[in-house]
Amino acid sequence: METRKSSPDKKEIRKKHLAIRNAMSEPETAEKSRAICEKLLTSDWYAITDWIFGYYPLGKEADCLEFLKKALSDGRHVALPRTGADCTMEFYEITSLEQTAEGAFHVMEPTAECRRINPMDLSNTQITVLVPGVVFTPTGSRYGYGKGFYDRYFARYAKLNRFALAYENQLEPELEVLDTDIKMQRIYTETGEYDII
């Protein structure tokens, strides 16, 4: 577990990185997101992955929508998360990005007709989860928005591939984390790819 007694608290680190991200221009985030999507399309896992659990970007998060559109056109199964009032998160299959509507926390989520996907029903199937966040370390630690949705999900489904998408300016050398904070296995940025596990 990475810990540093003198490190700023999570709230301050999140605040700092949200300010950095929000200060980026639309052309900058678009160009960096395009570079990240290109890395995903040429990755070693894309050709063999059956299911991609993506996300609909909130604000200036790394935007993977173009990648998800291409995955759908290439015949991949794509699912997006929907969160519940009980602080749970589940993924629902979409066949088009039009099958989304604004849900909790102003995030676009799969609409009511979409089918919930239980990874346990997809045995012998390659599932890759693309994970957003606020700040990461090159060794896989992650701070999200503090709700713990992804940590709880990965605690339930530990065998899923956990690949984060971020800008280089979202990286910190180290973070104070808890045992319940699930590490990423890879982090893709506009200029690099960090293999962790």
Q: Is there a binding annotation on residue 2?
A: no
Q: Is there a binding annotation on residue 46?
A: no
Find out whether 124 and 109 touch, Cβ atoms under 8 Å. no
Q: Is there a binding annotation on residue 143?
A: yes
Q: Is there a binding annotation on residue 61?
A: yes
Find out whether 92 and 100 touch, Cβ atoms under 8 Å. no
Q: Is there a binding annotation on residue 32?
A: no
The 8-class DSSP code of residue 6 comes to T
* Nearest in space to 2 (alpha carbons), one of 148, 178, 189: 178
* Nearest in space to 136 (alpha carbons), one of 126, 150, 155: 150
**Which helix (H) or strand (E) is 37 found in, with range?**
helix 26-41
Q: Is there a binding annotation on residue 10?
A: yes
Q: Is there a binding annotation on residue 147?
A: yes
Measured between alpha carbons, how far is 59 from 132 in angstroms, rounded to an integer?
Answer: 11
Q: Is there a binding annotation on residue 142?
A: yes
Q: Is there a binding annotation on residue 146?
A: yes
Q: Is there a binding annotation on residue 60?
A: no
Residue found by looking up tokens 């690949």 in the block: 163
Q: Is there a binding annotation on residue 144?
A: yes
Numbered residues of the known binding site for ATP: 10-14, 142-150
Numbered residues of the known binding site: 10-14, 61, 142-150
Numbered residues of the known binding site for substrate: 61
